[in-house]
Structure 1
Amino acid sequence: MTAQLSPPRSSTAAPGRARRNRTARRQDHPAWFLVPALAVLVVFFFIPTIFNFVYAFTDWSSFKVSINFAGIDNFTALLQNGSLLADLRTTLIYAVLVAVFQNLFGLILALILEADTRINRAARVAFFVPVIMSALAVGYIFRALLSQNGALNAILSAVTGQHIDIAWLGDTTWTIVVVALIHAWKWMGLSMLIYLAGLKTIPHDVVEAARIDGANWWTTFRTIRFPLLAPAVTFNVATSLLGSMNGFDIVQATTGGGPGGSTELLNIFVFRTFGQGLFAQATTMSLVLFVMVAILAFPVIKVLRKREEVLS
């Protein structure tokens, strides 16, 4: 009795199976699933961005029936307006303060809560809660806390035994610092998570070798751990700096741009100008902010990316 030999497999079987697998994968993930997301992106981002450039060169306003081409008249009027330059300076100061505070608080929290314990996990969640809260809600809460008859003055009066009546949001010099602290408090939980992720990627052997060589905690952090956090620093500094330059909601809820315009960011100026019916001028201001953010973003990211060369 002889065994029957199976016919030899065709050499094209494997390539054919691979083509069927690719076809099946394409059927499982069809490209037309991207159409809704692309439609939303085009309608709510690309088209408004294009019209932002177009309307900046027109005389569009609520006081005119037709929209006519105005050239660079809007830009000339804005440059002659001292409020624009003052708001640009305020926006830049506010962005720098937020970036410093947010990254400083986030890094300190990441170092304190680095150990993976139950208490630290609960604390991480608690510090991340403000990130998912509404920015307007955060602003109104702090506005109530920091008012002259608010909870903070009441607590200080109870602790010191004296009547405390400090206008925390009423000083033309320090109010912008207070508002920047509020902004940083809301987003420091996100920076904390990014820094925690960066700390977890640092090889333990490198840190242990430094400690065996006699390096203390600060020396190890300054010479080894912080340089290895370069990608996390790049992401956090860039997002906090550029995000705060587009800030509006927290400042609007806490001070409304006051006192005396000391916290009037450019977006608040845009909002107020648009509310006056000067649509073309408001669009021009938003275009100026867009250009300023772009000019600032590329050098900052380039400088921060150079720090990552130590990892390559």
Structure 2
Amino acid sequence: MSTNRAILIPGSSQRLADPASRKPRGRNGDHPLWFLLPALVVLIVFFFVPTIFNFIYAFTNWSSFNTSIGFVGIDNFVSLFSNGSLINALRVTLVYAVLVAIFQNLFGLALALLLEKDTRINRIARVLFFVPVIMSALAVGYIFQALLKPEGALNEILGFISGTDVTIAWLGDTTWTIVIVALVHAWKWMGLSMLIYLAGLKTISADVLEASRLDGAGWWQTLREIRIPLLAPAITFNVATALLGSMNGFDIVQATTEGGPGGTTELLNIFIFRTFGQGLFAQATTMSLVLFLMVAILAFPVIRFLRKREDVL
């Protein structure tokens, strides 16, 4: 039986289709895919094409000293890996990424637990701790570079408290400077981790927490046995973003130490920046390709491990 109906217009023989029987206009009629075209063009021109050329130029002799570009095979990779500077930059980048991931997540989780209750003071504190996230990374680096000088504000405060003249070179130690710079990086981004952990804490059912308290579980036992396992998705996201962000770090380290002292904080991106500034474009491109491979080899297995941990928990 047909369900199509028509409406007769009074005083006219013209019939209109029943509005209820009209076929709604969907995506096939509106062609929304056309709206993706500008974004797709931008993505291709500014991401895919440079990425492809990055793979190509890594196997050439492209530099400011050559009038033409020629294919040299894997010579760039051989020369760079035979140079201890690249290996050192890779090691420093890995250590820096691990330190930032640890500090940023510890600070973010501590702040989330401290500011979990929805009070006016806590809401104001959340905003204040999030302010560094939206600040320029270079500005943060230069501020801490000024604070941590031997004659900087931190030594002045310590000298005022101790009553002695304090002239500690916080950014001049070859052992601990990378830890200090990692702390600065973690300080800048801990507000973002705090918000992610706060969102995760809000999803935990109050009935589960109440049941644990009735069973005699203390605050620490509840955190360890219930809250931390239920925060597994938030931990995965925060660890992944901290690792990927710090492996591509440049601004804060460049502003604070410029890779010093003695190359102990020379991240791979700083090494690439210096090499490119010397006119060795192919070598710099090769280093960026090495960084891409390092991120793929190290970061993605970590993310996969954390996702499997979510399934177990």
Structure 1 counterpart of 2:68? 66
* Secondary structure of 2:262 counterpart: coil
In the alignment, residue 25 of structure 2 is paired with which amino acid? N
Equivalent pairs, count: 301
Q: Distance in 1 between matches of 2:99 and 2:191?
A: 17
Query: What's the counterpart of residue 164 of structure 1?
Result: 166
Q: Does structure 1 residue 294 correspond to structure 2 residue 303?
A: no
Instruction: Report how far residue 40 of structure 1 moved.
Output: 1.9
1:10 aligns to what?
4
Give CA deviations for 1:12-66 in whole Å, capped at 9, x if unaligned. 979953x32326x964x83322222222211221111111000000000000110
Name the SS of the counterpart of 1:20 in structure 2. coil
Cross-structure match for 2:10: none
Q: Separation in 1 of the partners of 2:64 and 2:132? A: 38
Change in CA separation of 1:21 and 1:128 when aligned onto 2, cut-off 3 Å: same
The alpha carbon displacement at 1:79 in A equals: 1.2
2:62 & 2:113 partners in 1: Cα distance?
52
Question: Counterpart in 2 of 1:266?
Answer: 268
Structure 2 partner of 1:20? 24
- Residues 93-149 of structure 1 deviation map (CA, whole Å, 9 limit, x = unaligned): 000000000000000000000001111000000000000000000000000000111
Q: Which residue of 1 aligns with 2:107?
A: 105
Task: Give yes or no for contact 1:227–1:307 (8 Å, CA) kept in 2.
Answer: no
CA distance in 2, matches of 1:26, 1:81: 60
Structure 2 counterpart of 1:221? 223
Q: Which of the residues 48, 53, 56 maps onto 2:55?
A: 53
2:187 equivalent to 1:185:
yes
Pick one of 117, 120, 123 that aligns with 2:119.
117
The 1:208–1:69 alpha-carbon spacing in structure 2 relative to 1, beyond 3 Å, is same
Distance 2:3 2:45 in 1: 54
Task: Verify the 8 A CA contact 2:60 2:73 in the aligned structure 1.
Answer: yes
On the 8 A contact 2:61/2:71 being kept in 1, the answer is yes
Normalising to structure 2: TM-score of the pair? 0.92
Match of 2:177 in 1: 175
Q: Would you say the 8 A contact 1:227–1:310 is kept in 2? A: no
**Structure 1: runs of 5+ lacking an equivalent:** 1-7
The alpha-carbon deviation at position 9 of structure 1 amounts to 4.8
What corresponds to 1:238 in structure 2? Answer: 240
Superposition RMSD on alpha carbons, in Å? 1.8
Name structure 2 gaps, 5 residues minimum: 6-16
Task: Note closer, same or farther for the CA distance 1:310–1:116 as it changes in structure 2 (3 Å cut).
Answer: farther
Distance in 2 between the 1:117 and 1:256 partners?
A: 42
- Distance of 1:176 and 1:268 partners within structure 2: 14
Q: Is the 8 A contact 2:4 2:21 kept in 1?
A: no
